Structure 1
Amino acid sequence: MKKLLIVGFLLIGVSAIAYTLYNNKTELEESATLAMKSSEYISVTVEKVSEKEVNRNFEANGVFEPSQELKLMSETSGTIVKINKRKGDYVKKGDVIVQVDDRLIRADYTIAQLNLEQAGKDVKRYENLANTDAITKKQLEDNQKAYNIAEAQFSALQKRLDDTQIKAPISGYINEEYYEMGALVSPGMAIADLINTSQLKLSVHVTENEISKVKLGDQLSIRVNAIKGETFTGKVDFISKKADGSFKYEVIIIMTGSNLDKISPGMFGTAEFQFAQEGKVLQISRKAIAGSLKDPGVYTIQNGKAVYRPIKVNPLTEGSIEVLEGLDSNDEVIVSGLINVKEGTPVKVQ
């Protein structure tokens, strides 16, 4: 009796296993069939190419800079014996900022001046003698040569004497000083930083798409971040011909108008570039572009299959593209599912 029960239970277990395996096989076959059907096409979404109004205005941020900025260097050596200007002072071009001890150079200068005067007298005397054939031509040439040497020595010492007065090469403010009374200076040593703020400029960087719209002389509205509620004006004075490492182009704007004394170098500003609008243009989503904007293309659908079409575009914003060539209004382009789409791929619009 027990053996019969055991055999019965075994039969029931085997039947249950067989039934489960059969069901699993059926489910696998159905899944395989469904996969085969789904692989027959790629599900995609599309959008129509449409005409939309486009705003070509843009803004660019930058930093205000002085029209001139330089580091004044010493061209002489010696001890500073007099200071005429200090940090923050306004200087005119040619003003003496510091005076370096010039006593030794001035003594050499005086000697060179006397030598030059004497050489000049000697040349005149020898020229008179040469007219009467009292001297040889070589004697006259030697005296003329001696005069030229004396003149060159005098000019060199005159330059060295002038260099002891360290002067401002431009008009502006002393933004930083590197000197003290009694300090020893040498050629190439920094003396002061000078800035000319009489005409401020705003340096901004724009993209390759934006630079094509900017022209020299364009009048712009400028906002200063630190000055609320007031707008200034500027004029485009420079446009770089080559992009920098971030693929942007420099545009320098010279500030014009009034109240510019409120703006200081180093402040942040925003230039508003405004242009005549061109009405409506053909536009598509950036997501529809297959590949890069340097070699753009899109996929359309013909007879249920994807068809690649190269196009020419003009970027408008991060999410919108202007179509210049290759598409017409109401054409439909694929915007999603592109990762699996190739030329001739069967597709189905969701």
Structure 2
Amino acid sequence: MKKLIIVALLLVGVGAVAFTLYNNKTEMNEAATLAMKSSEYISVTVEKVEEKTVNRNFQSNGIFEPSQELKLMSETSGAIVKIQKRKGDYVKRGDLIVQIDDRLIRSEYTIAKLNRDQAEKDLKRFENLAATDAITKKQLEENEKAFKIADAQLGALKKRLDDTQVTAPISGFINEDYYELGTLVSPGMALVDIINKNPLKLSVNVTESEISKVKKGDEIAVRVNAMSNQDFTGKVHFISDKADASFKYEVELIMNSKNQDQIKPGMFGTAQFMFSQEEQVLKINRKSISGSLKDPGVYLIKDGLATYQPVKINPLDDGTVEVLDGLKSGDEVIASGLINVKEGTKVKVQ
């Protein structure tokens, strides 16, 4: 009997839940239908496409870089026995930085040089004998081979001996060193970082519409963010032929100001491309663009309906875009409410 009562109660509960869900669904459908009936259109605002003056001058930020920068590695093994240059020192190409213990290699080199000199004497003697047919051709060839082997061994040891003298491959300042007297080094171990900031470079990125205005050799005003009260200049040295992933092109300036010694690699700079060019162009607000800058479009209103219109644009620095194709002066585009607008949507201008 108890079981029947429990089953009956469960059935009643399930029925009540089902009835409540059905009523909720019915109410939601009725609300949605009512909303659709009451929202026959979407309220929007419009913006008129107008001709406005645009200044073609532009700026681009970048970081100052040295003309050369390298990490000098050891090419041999041994303990450092002499230090000639330290962090902060200026070195010319070929200057000795550190001396690595070369006693063992120098001994091997001396032996190899004696063997090579003896092989050279033997070869000359055998060449004289060969001229009188006193020896066979094979004997001469064996002595030529012995001399070549001895000469190659001497050359290899000469290279190893030279590697014990770590010299600067470029001129510049030692920005960091990684050794002390007695440090045991091995091939591939970093010894110093050398930077050459003469000349100093500033690399910036510009858009495809800007790159066409820049030419090699142009003198460009440069502002150093850390030295706002000083004026600098740089000359365009390099312009990349291919855009990067952000569709921008690299422009490299070589700094040529007398007071540029104060500028340090790693500082931020701004290249000011001043061309004094003013043009009349069609402009609209960036917010009126639907889609991405790569595939842009706008919505016009025709007979109360939103109509999608693809356009070609050029982004400007003031939050607007230049319309290159797809619109004409006087056209009105939807400026707000775009989140709910699609092709054929009924709209009403507020």
TM-score (norm. length: structure 2): 0.83
Report if the CA contact (8 A) 2:243-2:249 is conserved: yes
What SS does the corresponding residue of 1:107 show, helix, strand or coil? helix
Report if the CA contact (8 A) 1:209-1:315 is conserved: no
Residue 289 of structure 1: aligned partner: 289
Q: Which amino acid aligns with 2:166?
A: I
**Is 1:217 equivalent to 2:222 in the alignment?**
no
Residue 43 of structure 1: aligned partner: 43
Deviations 1:25-44 (A, max 9, x none): xxxxxx99996775333222
Residue 337 of structure 1: aligned partner: 337
TM-score (norm. length: structure 1): 0.83
Deviations 1:229-285 (A, max 9, x none): 111011233344566666655433211121111212232222212234241111111
Q: 1:140 to 1:33 in 2, by over 3 A?
A: closer
TM-align CA RMSD: 2.5
Report if the CA contact (8 A) 2:74-2:185 is conserved: yes
Q: 1:300 to 1:164 in 2, by over 3 A?
A: same
Residue 124 of structure 1: aligned partner: 124
Provide the aligned length of Structure 1 versus Structure 2.
Answer: 320
Residue 268 of structure 2: aligned partner: 268
Distance 2:106 2:44 in 1: 89
Distance 2:346 2:198 in 1: 68
Report if the CA contact (8 A) 1:201-1:253 is conserved: yes
What SS does the corresponding residue of 1:66 show, helix, strand or coil? strand
What SS does the corresponding residue of 1:113 show, helix, strand or coil? helix
Residue 201 of structure 1: aligned partner: 201
Equivalent residues in 2 for 1:60-71, closer than 5 Å: 60-71=60-71
Q: 1:307 to 1:226 in 2, by over 3 A?
A: closer
Distance 1:327 1:247 in 2: 24
Equivalent residues in 2 for 1:19-58, closer than 5 Å: 38-58=38-58
How far off is 1:174 after superposition?
1.5
Q: 1:131 to 1:289 in 2, by over 3 A?
A: same
Q: Structure 1 regions of 5+ residues with no counterpart?
A: 1-30
How far off is 1:335 after superposition?
1.1
Q: Structure 2 regions of 5+ residues with no counterpart?
A: 1-30
Distance 1:40 1:162 in 2: 87
What SS does the corresponding residue of 1:198 show, helix, strand or coil? strand
Report if the CA contact (8 A) 1:235-1:255 is conserved: yes
Report if the CA contact (8 A) 2:93-2:167 is conserved: yes
Q: 1:36 to 1:98 in 2, by over 3 A?
A: closer
Equivalent residues in 2 for 1:127-276, closer than 5 Å: 127-207=127-207, 210-211=210-211, 213-240=213-240, 249-276=249-276
What SS does the corresponding residue of 1:141 show, helix, strand or coil? helix
Q: Which amino acid aligns with 2:95?
A: D
Report if the CA contact (8 A) 1:82-1:100 is conserved: yes
What SS does the corresponding residue of 2:328 show, helix, strand or coil? coil
What SS does the corresponding residue of 1:75 show, helix, strand or coil? coil
Equivalent residues in 2 for 1:63-102, closer than 5 Å: 63-102=63-102
What SS does the corresponding residue of 2:198 show, helix, strand or coil? coil
Larger Rg: 1
Report if the CA contact (8 A) 2:55-2:276 is conserved: no
Distance 2:180 2:347 in 1: 81
Deviations 1:138-183 (A, max 9, x none): 1111111111101100101111111111101111112222222222
Residue 27 of structure 1: aligned partner: none
Q: Which amino acid aligns with 2:292?
A: S
Q: Which amino acid aligns with 1:148?
A: K
Q: 1:79 to 1:338 in 2, by over 3 A?
A: closer
Deviations 1:57-86 (A, max 9, x none): 222223222211111111111222222222
**Is 1:305 equivalent to 2:305 in the alignment?**
yes
Report if the CA contact (8 A) 1:286-1:318 is conserved: no
Report if the CA contact (8 A) 1:115-1:150 is conserved: yes
Q: 1:46 to 1:117 in 2, by over 3 A?
A: same
Moved over 6 A (4+): 31-37
Sequence identity percentage:
72
